[in-house]
Amino acid sequence: MSVERRPRKVNMFRLGVYLRHTREFLELSYEQAAERVGCDIEWLVRVETGFEEPTPERVQRILERYGVISARIATVMIDLAHRPDGPSWLEKYAADVSTNLRDVLICEADATVVRSHHVSVIPELLRTEGYERTITVGRFPPIGPDAAWGILEHRQRLTAGGRPRRIDALIGEQALKQPVRDPQVMIDQLRHLLDVADGPDIRIRTTPLGFPLFEDRAHRFDIFEFFSASDRVSVVHEELGAEITPDDFLAVWKHIEKSAFPPDESRAMIESVLADLTARHG
């Protein structure tokens, strides 16, 4: 049974995983599933492995024939079929992002929970325009500050299919105290963290400078959760940019958060750093 080897789109890969899990839950072989759906076996294999782009109508037909069209996950799958290339706004920036980063942004756009661990910089989804434009200078791969902020502004405004998105951030004390070219930029950034932390969908916790260092803790990484907590993707931020990793960083996240300050103490830390910076430069 051959599978056509052509580039997979990340949304089609996720759709295929959902369809495969559904078929396996129903204990259907490929032959049984293809007969029930009325399709070619090899086509179904390509769909489940992400190398085929089924139309929303064909996905709906599969789910109807499987008898699961009323399940909540069915809506998620049909929605993915509508967006094989991810959010429409991303097309404008196609020339500014790598293939790896594009996959990351597409996954993030669908995530209902984003966990971000950043040691020395503020997580992207919590940045102000001034902070983003400042740290864009010297970024590799290179990207202009206008494009960088344009992309980030879309990301911050986005909700996953109209559903609320929760952000859980672990921010290193180093990131709060890292100097930037214009101190006012950092003052505004710290005030922004305090403002967004008041909302119901954002939790900010800080990790102290003395927190024990180990290899995975030194990395910036994100965890995206989708339909359920077990449906997740981990992203690492390396020197060459962000990319999806086959590793699951949830265990690392849980280990790090054991030493993180709770939200109220984290807020006090941010307020203290802000007060000191304001006294010197405000």
pLDDT bucket at 95, cuts 50 / 70 / 90: confident
Q: What is the pLDDT of residues 28-87, one digit of tens each?
A: 999 999 999 999 999 999 999 999 999 999 999 999 999 999 988 898 899 889 888 888
Mean pLDDT of the chain: 88
Q: Could you say which of 1.20.1070, 3.30.870, 1.10.238, 3.30.70 is the CATH number of the domain covering 89-281?
A: 3.30.870
Cβ atoms of 253 and 139 closer than 8 Å? no
Q: What is the pLDDT of residues 206-257, one digit of tens each?
A: 999 877 655 556 678 999 998 765 688 999 988 778 898 888 999 999 999 9
Q: What is the mean pLDDT of residues 154-180?
A: 85
The pLDDT of residue 147: 86
- CA quadruple 131, 180, 170, 220: dihedral, nearest 10: 90
Cβ atoms of 270 and 190 closer than 8 Å? yes
The values of phi and psi at residue 262, to 5°, are -65, 165
- Its pTM surpasses 0.75: yes
Cβ atoms of 108 and 116 closer than 8 Å? no
The pLDDT of residue 16: 93
Whether the pLDDT of residue 259 is over 80: the answer is: yes
Q: Report the C-alpha gap between 49 and 46 in whole angstroms.
A: 5
Q: What is the pLDDT of residues 197-207, one digit of tens each?
A: 988 899 999 99
**β-pair partners for 237:** 220, 242
Q: What is the mean pLDDT of residues 108-124?
A: 92
pLDDT bucket at 172, cuts 50 / 70 / 90: very high
The pLDDT of residue 3: 41
Domain 10-82 falls in which CATH fold? 434 Repressor (Amino-terminal Domain) (1.10.260)
| Portions of the chain given CATH number 1.10.260.40 | 10-82
The pLDDT of residue 282: 62
The pLDDT of residue 94: 84
| Portions of the chain given CATH number 3.30.870 | 89-281
Cβ atoms of 111 and 160 closer than 8 Å? yes
The pLDDT of residue 139: 58
The 10 Å Cβ neighbour count of residue 154 is: 17
The values of phi and psi at residue 236, to 5°, are -110, 145
Whether the pLDDT of residue 123 is over 80: the answer is: yes
Cβ atoms of 204 and 193 closer than 8 Å? yes
pLDDT bucket at 270, cuts 50 / 70 / 90: very high
User: How much of the chain exceeds pLDDT 90, in percent?
Assistant: 56
The pLDDT of residue 4: 46
Cβ atoms of 181 and 150 closer than 8 Å? no
Longest CA span, the chain: 73
Cβ atoms of 131 and 185 closer than 8 Å? yes
